[in-house]
Amino acid sequence: MPNTELTVAVIDLNPARAAIVEEGLRASGIREVVVIPDTAGLLARLQEVDPDVVVIDLDSPSRDLLEQLFHVSRLVERPVAMFVDRSDAATMEAAVDAGISAYVVDGLKPERVKSIIDVAVLRFNAFAKLQRELTEARSELAARKVVERAKGLLMKAKGVTEEEAYGLLRRKAMNEGRKLAEIAQALVTSFELLE
């Protein structure tokens, strides 16, 4: 079942094209469509509207306009669907690098707009999930490295085995109600200060 409770911001410098996009969205049941007819103060305007999805519709975008729109797409952290009349490989590559969720060349038809936005939302959510998982994995890896370093420092300083060093860290974390990685980082920092 498509989500019709979305707020969609449509950025288009051409009122006729913006009307086509708006018509397609409203026909599919989306009630909240905000058309932004120019790019002056675009980031502030998008923050004010706080859309769930951003639709950018351009015929032949200039390099400066593309750069501004791509900068905005990174900052708003929302699914962005871009419709263009003409494109080239460099523009498509820049769109992908900027995090555009759907990039459609010469495909602006009212009946297609909603399905393209649905795909953009799904792709954005999948990418955001991957980003979260990557961040968590990096954080976990960093925590493991700190714990390993702290164990090594304890083994050297106290002449204990690896298991005993881990046990010391674990007991300290449990007694203080803190995470093992926090205790390990505090130990590593203390040792670095003494060096």
Residue 186: both structure tokens together: 């505090």
Phi and psi at residue 86, in whole multiples of 5°? -135, 150
What pLDDT sits at residue 62? Answer: 63
Enumerate long-range contacts of 100-106, CB under 8 Å, 24 or more apart.
Answer: 100/56, 100/70, 100/73, 101/127
State which CATH number among 3.30.379.10, 3.60.21.10, 1.10.3720.10, 1.10.10.10 fits the domain covering 134-194.
1.10.10.10
7-132 — its CATH code? Answer: 3.40.50.2300
Instruction: Tell me how far apart the alpha carbons of residues 149 and 138 are, in angstroms, rounded to a whole number.
Output: 17
170: left (phi over 0), alpha (psi -120 to 50) or beta: alpha
- 155, 165 in Cβ contact below 8 A? yes
- 9-25 tens-digit pLDDT: 998 888 888 888 888 88
Instruction: Tell me how far apart the alpha carbons of residues 153 and 186 are, in angstroms, rounded to a whole number.
Output: 12
- 89-116 tens-digit pLDDT: 877 777 777 777 777 777 666 667 777 7
Domain with CATH 1.10.10.10 in the chain: 134-194
List, for the chain, all residue ranges whose pLDDT scores fall below the cut of 70: 1-4, 60-63, 65-66, 69, 107-111
What pLDDT sits at residue 83? Answer: 79
Domain with CATH 3.40.50.2300 in the chain: 7-132
Q: Which of 142, 164, 165 is nearest to 153 (CA)?
A: 165
